[in-house]
Amino acid sequence: MRFKEIKRGIFTIPGKLGDIFIYIDKPLPVKDKRKLIIMLHGLRASAEWGFFPTLATCFAYWGATVVRITFSGAGMPINSLEVVEKEKFAINNPYYELEDTLVVLERIFSFVNEDLSVYLYGHSRGGCIAILAASQFSGFKGLVTWEAGATVFRWSKEEIKQRLKGDKIFLKDDTTGKGLYLLKEGFDIMERYKKELDVEASAAKLTIPWLIIQGDKDRFIKLSEAKTLYGVSSKSELVVIEGADHTLGTTHPFSSPSLHFLRATKITLDWLSRS
């Protein structure tokens, strides 16, 4: 069946730090593939970040209904392409994002029919959150992660201590010129919920099919982390894309699809078709 159009909508539900923005991309007519894909973004990103809208469109034209989430602490409200709510961004942390995700999943699964196959997709830290959520929430048909790390604890306690200026850590690689920072309180919250945020342990619990895509030129997430996740999970498949970086060769704002992005998309769609 060909899908002639995509119906789009946006609505909000309350989250940990304010509204969670939920973007729906639905193919019309909906009679073929009974699949729902929930997309989770990474740090300094949103449902409108980079390749996310384009990937959602690809999923929708393939026949899936797509739910893209902007976490309540992303600091990027609707139509924002950069962080504008610095205070929310500063206190946001993986535990709050996990809480937001579980709220959305509760809402979605409250009306999902048994004949609908639900998949969870995450990029970067969104992939970590997807792993954590999938280990706590039953009902998923499969999981897809792109460039996801084996831990959300990217800095040691000593590194955090060294980088602190008062109660703030300014991001060294901030390219916005806006002086983005993270509050120490957010790291304290992460430490408090360290067990709940154990990505590797959560990966080991997964019993659903899982596609792991990782570029070998990602300077943020090393290939060894993807191999770690693959090694502890029983039903995962690891695909390494040679030459691909953290954003699969794409930019933000998005300009055009790269060969690496197109390959990752095709691999994902083929995998979804088989699962």
In 3D space, the residue among 266, 18, 253, 243 whose CA is nearest the CA of residue 144 turns out to be 266
pLDDT at 175: 47
Instruction: Answer yes or no: is pLDDT of 176 > 70.
Output: no
pLDDT at 6: 87
Instruction: Answer yes or no: is pLDDT of 238 > 70.
Output: yes
Instruction: Answer yes or no: is pLDDT of 21 > 80.
Output: yes
Region 70-87: mean pLDDT is 96
Q: Is residue 173 part of a domain?
A: no
Split into its structural domains, the chain has a count of 1
Q: Is residue 237 part of a domain?
A: yes
In sequence order, what are the residues at sequence separation of 6 or more whose Cβ sits closer than 8 angstroms to the Cβ of residue 207? Answer: 234, 235
pLDDT at 173: 59
pLDDT at 268: 98
pLDDT at 138: 87
Region 231-242: mean pLDDT is 97
pLDDT at 194: 98
* Class of residue 269 by CB neighbours under 10 A (exposed 0-12, middle 13-18, buried 19+): middle
Q: Is residue 172 part of a domain?
A: no
pLDDT at 60: 93
Q: What is the pLDDT of residues 130-140, one digit of tens each?
A: 999 999 998 99
pLDDT-derived band at 179, boundaries 50, 70, 90: confident
Q: Is residue 27 part of a domain?
A: yes
pLDDT-derived band at 4, boundaries 50, 70, 90: low
CA–CA dist 224, 227 (Å, integer): 5
In 3D space, the residue among 229, 243, 225, 238 whose CA is nearest the CA of residue 267 turns out to be 238
Q: What is the pLDDT of residues 199-216, one digit of tens each?
A: 999 999 999 999 999 999
Q: Is residue 208 part of a domain?
A: yes
Q: What is the CATH number of the domain that holds 90?
A: 3.40.50.1820
pLDDT at 275: 86
Q: Is residue 168 part of a domain?
A: no
Q: Is residue 236 part of a domain?
A: yes
What percent of the chain is predicted at pLDDT more than 70?
A: 95
CA–CA dist 208, 144 (Å, integer): 11
Q: What is the pLDDT of residues 113-150, one digit of tens each?
A: 778 899 999 999 999 999 999 999 989 999 999 999 99
Q: What is the CA radius of gyration of the chain?
A: 18
Q: Which domain holds residue 14?
A: 5-151+197-269
Region 100-112: mean pLDDT is 93
pLDDT at 197: 98
For the entire predicted model, the pTM comes to 0.95
Q: Is residue 180 part of a domain?
A: no
